[in-house]
Every structure is written in C-alpha cells, then in structure tokens.
Structure 1
Amino acid sequence: MKKFKWLTVLIAAVMVIMTGCQSVGGLDINKALVTSLDVKSSESRSNLRIELVAADKTLTPEDKEAIDLINSISLNIDHAIVQDSKTLSIQGSIQYLDKKLPMHVFMDSKGMTIQLDGAKQPIYLAMDTTVPGLPDTSQYEQAVQDVVKKAAGLLLKHFPNPSKIAVKPVQEKVNGESLNLTHLQMELAGDEILNMIKPFAESLLKDEAGIKQLIGDFYDAMAPMIASISEAYGEEAVLLPQETKEEVIASVYEPIILSLTELVEDFEGKKQELKEELPEIDTVLGKGTVLKLDYYFDGQLNTRKNALELTVALPASEDLPVKAIKVHSEGEAWNFGGAVKANKVDTSQGVLDVLSDSVTPGQVLRSFEKDSLVYNLLKDDLGISHKYFQFNVSYVDLGDSAISTIKKNNQSFVQLRYLADQLDAEVKLTKGSKRITIINDLTGEKIVLTPGSKKASVGGKSVTLSEAPFVHTNGSTYVPLRFVAEALGATLQLEDDGWISVERK
C-alpha cells in the first residue's frame, strides 16, 4: 500500500490547487469556481482521454500492447443534458483502438439506464440508497450540498494563486454562438504545491469567524438528519457529546486551530518528514508534474468552456513501464437555466438489472448481439463467462462434502446442484416425473436427464450414457461429471495430484 500513498497525496493536492485562487484582473475566481459547483439545467459536450508516456527503457511486448491500448481510449460526450440535480442524460461514445462504442445514459433519482450499441435491452443500475427500517434522508441532501459549497468557498478564499495565472476578455464560440467571455488561464508545476501549503494555513488561521461559521453550518445541516436516524432506532438522538451547538463549535474549532498552528510553526520539518516517508514525492511533486487549466466564464460566472491538461511524473521503477501519466479534457456548455429535458433511454422492451443477485454471465451475454463490440469485450477481453473449479477424486466417502466425487464403474459422478451452481446452469424438475432439465447459461441449450436411465438428450438430440444418473442415500442427485460439464461448455483435466479441474472459458 505504501507504494500508492504518494498518489493519494498528489490527487488531494492537485484537487485543492485546481480550485484555489483569489481575484485576478477583476475576476472573483473564488466566486466563479464556487458557482461552478451549482447544479443548473444546461447542455454540454466534452471529451476525456488518458495518455501513458513510456519509460526510457526497452518495453516488453505485453507492456507496449497495454500502453497502446490505454492511449487509444477516449470518452466522447456528444450531448449531455442536465435537467436538474438528479436527472440527466448523456449521449456519446467510448473509443479504443479502431473500435467505437456508442452509448446513451439516462439517470434519475431511481437509477441509471445505459443503452449500449448491440444490446437487446438496456442495462439498469438501481440507485435506491434507502436503508430498510431507516427514514428517507433525501430531504436533507440540499442542506448537505450547500454546506459542501461553503466549505469549498472557505478553502478557495485562503488558497494562494499559482505563479502563472492570467485573466483576459476574449471572444469564443460555444455551440456555434460567438460569446464575450472572461478567460482564466492557470499553470501550476508540481514543485509549487508544497510551498503553497504554509501561506494557505497562515491565511486560514486568521479567519476565526469563517471557520466557526462553517462548523456551525455543518452542524445545522447534519443535526436534523442524524436526529431523524436516531429516532428511527428508538434511541435518544445524540449528534456529538456536547449538548449545544456552541459547545460543538468550540470543541471542533480547537483541534483545527492547533493542527494549523503546528503546521505553520514547523512547516519545514513536516515537509521533510513527508519526503522521508514518501521519497517518490520529489518526482511526483517535481517540475515534471504540470497542471494547465483554462476556464471561460460568462457574465453570470457560468463556465462556458474549459480545458485541462495534467501531466503527472512517476518515479522510475523496474515494475513500472511508464514515466508519466497525462490527462486531457475539454468541454463547452450552453443553455444554462434553460427549460431542458433529459433524453430517456427506451425501456419498452425491458431492462437487464445487472445488480440483481440472480443475474448470470449468460444472461448478460445473451442481452447483446453476438457480433457486437460489447459481447466480444465481455466474453473475450473481460472473460465474464470464465469459470474454474476442482473436484477431489481421491476422497470416496462423500459424507457432508459437496465437492467430492463418487466413483461408479470407473466413472466420476458429482452432485448435480453443485455442478450446476458452479456453471450458472438452471435446474428444473418436471412435476410428476423424475426427469431433470439443465439449462446451459451461455447458450440456453437444454440437457435432459432421468435418474436411473441411460437415455438423455442435449439440445433435443438423443444420447446414451455409459452410466445412469442416480439419487444418493443422502437424497442428492448425482450426474456423470464429464458428460454434464462438457454439455455445459466446460473442459476437464485430471491433475497430477488426483484432482479434476473443470474450466469454462
């Protein structure tokens, strides 16, 4: 885990710097960036791509292939519509190598529906966050969002400007319309980041009223929600050990000020400690790491266009085939506050709820055309149908074990239910008959067996078994392992240690 701690430090620092600036050239940058946190009805388009810069060494074919693949990926949003804070739609595509995957996403308070090219039904992701037995806390969401904005505003107010920053009036086209905008341009090198922490802390220390106000606002936003949850449990509502808002503010304010004071008084020492603990930070937060930002604001401080280019330098490593990661994005937005309506995904033919516990790999694959990009991606590249498990053939006395085999005339038999579960097959019993139908999860093909009979069928074609399935004394039905496993698309391998491995790709 320690190898990745520097990445956390970087992300936290860059996110703060990206949104931390004071007034320049008449533009209230603090207010402009806080305004960008408001969710307003709007339309937009954007794109995002990630680029890996190969290390200065000979790459293995596998590393080169992986880098080329990642560098070919891009997310293109052709048209996004934000109807309100909970309702939006996105139409665009994901591209990689020479392939393009069109997509249409619709999200509301109930869930997210995703239509992908080649899908017979849209994918549905339920987003119901309510917990059985607890009250609905959605009424408090706006208050929580408001206090988050206030926290961002306080941090932005005190964070110093990077050394390279400029503001100028420009004329730019947005969605084909020529607009008079204010262009904010910033550039920040990684070696500036640590040196900006101390002046930030010194400035924040002087704002006692601002810190206490934020703590109080947080109390006001959270107290009703926590009290509602406590009441649902039938217990006395307790937010914090203190009984009054003033006591809460005092108890939270004191450790914040103490931490800021210690940081200011021994900043060089703490910076050295950080470098000793994370020696990679000299590279990650060095001159090779650069963030370039361009914002274009209109008269109401709405962000009409934006562009980001982030280069993160990575420490040299034998295990790491890249020396830097680059992120590129740009976008434009229009129709702020307009009467827009998100484009819903057509669900008239039903949906596939992939979060359902009962959904199987076969159900997912069958929801796509076999020649579609997603089908091949899921099956071949992601291997969602892959299964691998083993049976013990040396342990003859089954007892309570469900993964051992029973030998009968030199043929291995296994418990039907266990084998079916492992391969996601559905088992149906014919009422009034001993006949058993096993449905192949990937193909939907039916395998019909009858305990005590050597007659069977696969996909409607009759076959004769060398040994009949049987019901064990423990009440479980046992079937020929090789016959059923292969009929369900798996292959068998007898290992040197006496175990039988079963694999389906």
Structure 2
Amino acid sequence: MKKSFARPSKFIALILAFTLVFVAGCEAISNLDFNTVLKNSLKVTSSESKQSVELKLELDDTAYEGATEEDIAIMKLVSNIKLQFENVKMQDSSNASFNGSLIFGDTASVKFSLKMSDKLAIMEIEGAKQPFAIDLTSEGLLGLTGLSGLPEDAATEAAAPELDEATATALGHEILDTVGSYVIHNLPNPERIDVKPVFENINGVSTSLMKVHVDFDGNEILPWVKKYVDALIADRAGLDKMVAGVFEVLNSNPQILGAAEEVIPFDQGGLDSEDPAELIAEATEGIAELLTELQGELKLLEEEEQEEFDEIFNKNLSIKADMYVDNKLDIRKQAYELSYAPSLDPEFGVLPIKGITLKFESESWNVNGVVKADAPVASKSDFAIEQLVDMQGYQALKMFDDKSVVYDLLKNKLHVNKQNITWYSDEYYNPVIITASHVTIIPLRSTVEQLGGVLTFDKKTKSLKVFDEATNTTIVLKNGSDSAVVNGKTVKWAFPVTVIDGVTYVPARNLTHAIKAKIGWTDLGDDMKVFSLDREV
C-alpha cells in the first residue's frame, strides 16, 4: 500500500493554500482568475524548484537572566534557523529528491541530500560516516513507532487493491474541480490586495509574470472568516451541486472506495439500499447544519470572547504574501512572511520573546512537466534510521566525524551526549535508599541500562558484570561483597552489593565514580528531595 511522505513542496503548498484563502475570490483583479490559480496550485503533480523556510525569534534580554552559558548558547542557536532546499525534483507523489542545508544564523550550516521513492528514502548528511535509510513500507513505518509486525486483519487491509498513480491523480483533480466550484468560488477577497505585471528570474530565466501582493493583519481574520461562512451558507444551490457532484464521481469510480475497503453508500444492489437522492439530500443538510453551527460559534466568539481573541489576533500579527503567476495561471514564485509580537501581559509576566518571524520562499519551473528525481539506492553501508530510537546520545554522536560541523553542534551546543537520571524521595519503584550508615545506594540494573550499559550474570563465578560502553569500563561485583573489580583493579566500596526485594543495590558514589558521573541531592521543599545522576560522555 502506497504511503504519502511529507515533502517540503507539500509543506509549502499548505502555506500557499492558507494564503490563497485571502486572495482568491469571486471577482478577478486585473483579469487574474484567482479561483483557477488556487485549483492549479493544488493540481501540481511534478515540478522542479528551490524552497526555503526560515524562523527568527527576537529574544528579550530577560531570556538570559539566570540562564546558564549552555542554555544561552542553545537559545541563540535556535533563534534563527533556516531550512534551505536546492534542486528539488518532484517526480510524482511518491518520488522526489533534493539537496539542502540546515542553517543556524551565522553560526553553522549542515548540508544534506534526500532521495525518496514509495518504499525507500536515503538521506546523506554532511559529516555522517554513513547514509541513513528510512523504510517507507507499512512494516518499516511501524518500526519507527517501535512496533513491528502487522495483525492479520491489518495485513489483509494492506493487501487491498490500489489505485494506480495516473487514475488517482485524475480522480483527485475531478473531485477538486467539483468541490472547488463551491468552496473556492465563495472565497471573499481581502481588503488589501494588489496585482501588477512584472519580470522575475525563475531558475535564471527572466519570466513575464503577474505579481499578487497581499498584506493584512490579525484584526482582519475574524471578519473575513465570518464573511466566508456567510457566503457558503447563502450559496445553497452551490452546496447541493457540490455534494451531488462528489457522489457522482464516487458512483462512477467505485474503485476509489473499493481501494479503501469502504462500502459504496449509494450502491443500489440490494432491496434495502437507500435512494441516492435521499442520501445526497441528507449529506447536504448535514453540511449546511455544520456551517450554521459554525456561524453561531463565530457570532458567540465576537460577542463574548472578542477580548481574548484580540489578544492574539491584532495588529501585532501581520501576514504578507507575494505570488508570481504565469500565463498558464501556475504559481512560479512565492514569498510569505508571518510576523507576530506577543503582547506583554502582567498576569503571565514578561515573555522572553519580543517577536517571531516565519518566512517561506520558493520558485518553481517545469511545472507538471517530465521530471526525473534522483532515485534512492540501498547499500550495505546504510544505517536504518529506526535504530536511533533505542540509541543513547553518545552512541548517535559516534556516527559523525568528530571534525564535522554537525558533530560540534550535537556535542558542544545541543549536548546530546549528556545523560541524567533522577529519583524522587517519595518514589516507590526502585527508589534510592539511604542506609543506616548514611551511604546512598541505587538500583544497579535500571541505572546501568538507562545509561546504555549492559549488566550480565556469570553462573559459574556467581558474579555480576557491568560493561559501560560510554566510558569503556568493566566492573565485576558479587552479591554481599564490598569488593569490586574495576577494569581489572580490585577496589573496596563503601557498602556491599545488596539485594532488596529482588533488586540489586550498590553504593551510588562508588558506581558513579567508576563510570565518570556525578551525583547529588536537591531539596525541593515540603519534605521533597530529588537525587540526580549526571554525566557528559
């Protein structure tokens, strides 16, 4: 069964659809038919492009008050992130490839490439010692969630007949045209919109385009939504026609529901089958009722919760959009910017963020043309990405060259090799215990395994063996003994290895010293304390 996979072009399409909601409408401007532009944008099946997504956070100086140097470094690192996609080739809904960079302001940049098919994705990251492979089959995607194996009924569902790519695309376009006649046709124009002819470089070629510029703020959102809902309710003839059209498409193409193993609701093959006209009327009435309920909710929002709504949707929220449309009414270039300055509410204190800016940019060529994406090729050196789920941070770090930018980011900025275990004083399961001689002891197995180590038992010698991969340390212990062999050297520990309620305990300070960790108690007040183990390996 084919699975869809998020791609940058699809993500940009969502933003595009959201923005076009404010530029599409019943009336064309400068002879530019926005309804057709929107429909065309949702019908793009192949293209080549460049795209970028950028997030900027303007941090208030108070964000750094009381913060550690490590926290400040992370805040500065993530305050300006840009995902740059170059040479994007979208062959169809299943096959795509692109090169890109993840850019952290002026601090660092990491290049990567991704090649995808319906079954496999191969990602190469600058500085990584081997490519990363993602299994996109049903079983593989389950593996990413930590599950494996499909139940028998799910396996049967997975074997359901599929629609081929061409048929699915054609039917999608047919349904889009049917729905669009009602949903898109009723979209109202925004108050501030401008259209003018321009020449823009697209992939290095000067191209004649129509530039659409839209500029609006948060105060205009609720009135526009209300106007749109009112228009949908008023166009009952359009609603009737849309629902009947969708039913007709499904009735004429039973393979759509057959592929999904759904019963065709208007199948007249049985004595008890409902009349198609009644089904259509029932569906239409249901949608009309939902729209009426939404209209009431919007009115209630305006009357009773307008103040709370205005706290977010006000002039501090700004959306700007520039779209460049060619003579085929395909969008060839686009730039969107959303900015927001949070209000300072004394009730919640001073926010550490003074402003947020989100930008999307792209330019496309060869739209719906013949595009051949770079195909993913599996090799023995590939690393299955689902294995990362069970890996410790220090283990993942070893997958990158220690001279690479990504290694420096992971280790010195994000500190993925840091480990922490905490126990609360009121914890019931495997708690920390303070002995009569004031020695703190901790559960051995859970501690070792949480740090990525391995605990084994030798039946012949009746000894416990700890191997800590992070520090390459081996510790041999015996129940009831206060002697330990650490990397071949015998040392005496503060308390003998002790079994309590079936759980093996060891002295915390001795164990953590051997594996290069630090421990300590923190008083949280109200007779609550927390015991923590920390290390960076």
Segment of structure 1 superposing worse, 74-83 or 151-160: 151-160
2:215 is aligned with what amino acid?
E
Match of 2:340?
312
Are 1:105 and 2:114 matched, yes or no?
Answer: yes
Are 1:117 and 2:126 matched, yes or no?
Answer: yes
Match of 1:457?
486
User: Among residues 359, 363, 386, which one is paired with 2:419 in the alignment?
Assistant: 386
Contact 2:81-2:103 at 8 Å conserved across structures: yes
1:31 is aligned with what amino acid?
T
Offset at 1:85? Answer: 0.7
Cα distance change on mapping 1:478 and 1:306 into 2, 3 Å: same
Cα distance change on mapping 1:138 and 1:403 into 2, 3 Å: farther
Are 1:484 and 2:533 matched, yes or no?
Answer: no
2:476 is aligned with what amino acid?
L
Match of 1:332?
363
Cα distance change on mapping 1:451 and 1:328 into 2, 3 Å: same
1:11-59 deviation line (CA, Å, top 9, x unaligned): 999556346334333332212222112343322112222234567xx74
1:386-432 deviation line (CA, Å, top 9, x unaligned): 3222286x99xxxx953355959875554432222222212345686
Match of 2:95?
87
Whole-angstrom CA distance in 1 between matches of 2:338 and 2:362: 15
User: Among residues 365, 368, 374, which one is paired with 2:400 in the alignment?
Assistant: 368
Whole-angstrom CA distance in 2 between matches of 1:29 and 1:378: 46
1:249 is aligned with what amino acid?
I
User: Among residues 123, 133, 139, which one is paired with 2:162 in the alignment?
Assistant: 139
Contact 2:240-2:284 at 8 Å conserved across structures: no
What is the RMSD computed on CA atoms of the aligned residues? 4.3
Whole-angstrom CA distance in 1 between matches of 2:506 and 2:252: 61
Contact 1:470-1:478 at 8 Å conserved across structures: yes
Offset at 1:152? Answer: 5.4
Cα distance change on mapping 1:344 and 1:229 into 2, 3 Å: closer
Whole-angstrom CA distance in 1 between matches of 2:415 and 2:531: 22
1:265-316 deviation line (CA, Å, top 9, x unaligned): x7xx944633632524335433443322222233433322111122335333
Whole-angstrom CA distance in 2 between matches of 1:474 and 1:285: 58
Are 1:212 and 2:221 matched, yes or no?
Answer: no
Whole-angstrom CA distance in 2 between matches of 1:401 and 1:46: 50
User: Among residues 161, 165, 184, which one is paired with 2:193 in the alignment?
Assistant: 165
2:47 is aligned with what amino acid?
S
Match of 1:61?
64
Contact 1:391-1:405 at 8 Å conserved across structures: no
Identity among equivalent positions (%) equals 26
Contact 1:187-1:290 at 8 Å conserved across structures: yes
Aligned residues: 477
Cα distance change on mapping 1:172 and 1:383 into 2, 3 Å: same
Whole-angstrom CA distance in 2 between matches of 1:480 and 1:287: 60
Q: SS of the residue aligned with 1:31?
A: helix
Whole-angstrom CA distance in 1 between matches of 2:252 and 2:382: 39
Q: SS of the residue aligned with 1:105?
A: strand
1:235-281 deviation line (CA, Å, top 9, x unaligned): xx6979995654443223213323545777x7xx9446336325243
Contact 1:423-1:488 at 8 Å conserved across structures: no
Match of 1:8?
none
Contact 1:215-1:249 at 8 Å conserved across structures: no
Match of 1:298?
326
Are 1:341 and 2:369 matched, yes or no?
Answer: no
Whole-angstrom CA distance in 1 between matches of 2:378 and 2:504: 44
Segment of structure 1 superposing worse, 13-22 or 325-334: 13-22
Contact 1:92-1:102 at 8 Å conserved across structures: yes
1:359 is aligned with what amino acid?
M
Query: TM-score, length-normalised on structure 2?
Result: 0.73
1:44-98 deviation line (CA, Å, top 9, x unaligned): 112222234567xx74535996875444322222222212212222312122242
Cα distance change on mapping 1:20 and 1:316 into 2, 3 Å: farther
Contact 1:414-1:481 at 8 Å conserved across structures: yes
Offset at 1:351? Answer: 0.8
Match of 1:34?
39
Match of 1:6?
none
Whole-angstrom CA distance in 2 between matches of 1:408 and 1:35: 77
Q: SS of the residue aligned with 1:340?
A: coil
Whole-angstrom CA distance in 2 between matches of 1:327 and 1:312: 9
Contact 2:84-2:100 at 8 Å conserved across structures: yes
2:64 is aligned with what amino acid?
P
1:487 is aligned with what amino acid?
A
Are 1:180 and 2:188 matched, yes or no?
Answer: no
